[in-house]
Amino acid sequence: MWHDIQSGYSAALSEATSPPPDGITASTARFNIYRNNVAVSLSDALAETFPVVKMLVGEEFFAGLAQVYVQQNKPTSPLLMEYGDTFSDFIQAFSPAEGIPYLSDVATLEFAWLSAYHAADADPLTIDVLSSVPEDALDAITFKMHPSLILMTSDWPVTSIWHAHQEQAAPDLSKLGAAPEFILVVRPGLDVQVLGLSEASFAFADALDSGMSLGAACNALEEIDGFDPSQHLTELFMAGAITEVITNT
């Protein structure tokens, strides 16, 4: 039965050196061409999705990291743009990478970048749209955020690390402290934006993204240091993060 041969064939592709499985007549060298194709093409896909992770650890370390990941995690669909969704968690648990505590969060950010890159298109609104909302209806408005919007936090300055690597492969990171970051990723046009927000601004974006009305978000967050809703709202419109304002009367 082809199904049984295929099961053996499939399993043997993830083994490093065993001879070809039952039903196949070929030298190990021949079978290894397939093993190599699978391993190399999937490692290459990870390198393409996580270029900053690769720069941070170097080519050789990345090859080892990717090899173990590929061995244990095959894509679950033919869409390589979705491959590596668990790479960040894998790095977190990968003890040889312990020395770079922010590596896992950089991987999360890079995967967020790719998700935003391929997300649905939508035209962002400018803040003028609010001038058409009657003043007494402002409290109740809710917002539809751009389909590409992703909000994430990190204990490390990952946007600074990420931005530094956009221009050079080995930037000086010595001046970066262990400051937490609040990050917004969005693609209002064709270019993905990676922005660092203040804690208050992030909490506001998160509240609006969860469907909270403007009034409710203001009430819930007014105690946060530096909370300034009109400034935060301007920031979100400027980022192209809002695609619809819904008046709830």
Partner 1 sequence: MTNSRTVPCRAGASFKAGHFAEILETKPDVGFFEVHAENYMGAGGPPHAQLERLRDDYPISVHGVGLSIGGADGLDTEHLDRLKRVVDRYQPALFSEHLAWSTHQGAYLNDLLAVPYTRETLKLVVEHIDDVQSHIGRTMLLENPSTYIAFEENDFDEVTFITEVQKRTGCGLLLDVNNVYVSSVNHGWDAQKYIEQFPISHVGEIHAAGHATTEDEDGSTLLIDAHNGVASDPVMALLSQALTHRSDIPVLIEWDNDLPDWLGLYQEVEKISDVLRAATNAPEMTDVA
> Shortest Cβ distance from residue 35 to partner 1 (Å)?
9
The 190-219 contact track toward partner 1, x by CB under 8 A, reads: x-----------------------------
Dist CA 243 CA 57 (whole Å): 38
Burial class (CB in 10 A: 0-12, 13-18, 19+), 115: middle
186 near partner 1, rule: CB under 8 A: no
45 near partner 1, rule: CB under 8 A: yes
Q: How many residues bind partner 1 (CB under 8 A)?
A: 43
Query: In Å, what is the CA distance from 83 to each residue of 3, 5, 11, 40, 80?
Result: 25, 26, 19, 14, 5
Q: What angle do CA 229, 231, 237 make, to 5 degrees?
A: 100
138 near partner 1, rule: CB under 8 A: no
Which residue's CB is nearer to partner 1, number 33 or number 137? 33
In terms of residues, how long is the chain?
A: 249
75 near partner 1, rule: CB under 8 A: yes
Q: Using DSSP bridges, classify how beta strands 193-197 and 181-186 pair: parallel, antiparallel or unpaired.
A: antiparallel
Per CB under 8 A, the segment of 95-103, 105-113, 117-125, 194-202 that binds partner 1 is 117-125
93 near partner 1, rule: CB under 8 A: no
Give the distance from CA 150 to its chain's centroid. 8
Which residue's CB is nearer to partner 1, number 44 or number 222? 44
Tell me the residue type at 175. K
> Shortest Cβ distance from residue 82 to partner 1 (Å)?
9
Query: In Å, what is the CA distance from 67 to each residue of 71, 167, 183?
Result: 6, 27, 30
63 close to 117: Cβ distance less than 8 angstroms: no
- The interface with partner 1 within residues 4-33 (CB under 8 A) comprises 5-7, 9-10, 13, 20, 23-31, 33
Tokens of 9: 């064939």
51 near partner 1, rule: CB under 8 A: no
Q: Which of 16, 120, 174, 249 binds partner 1 (CB under 8 A)?
A: 120
Which chain residues interact with partner 1 by CB under 8 A?
1-3, 5-7, 9-10, 13, 20, 23-31, 33-34, 37-38, 41-42, 45, 74-81, 117-121, 147-148, 187, 190
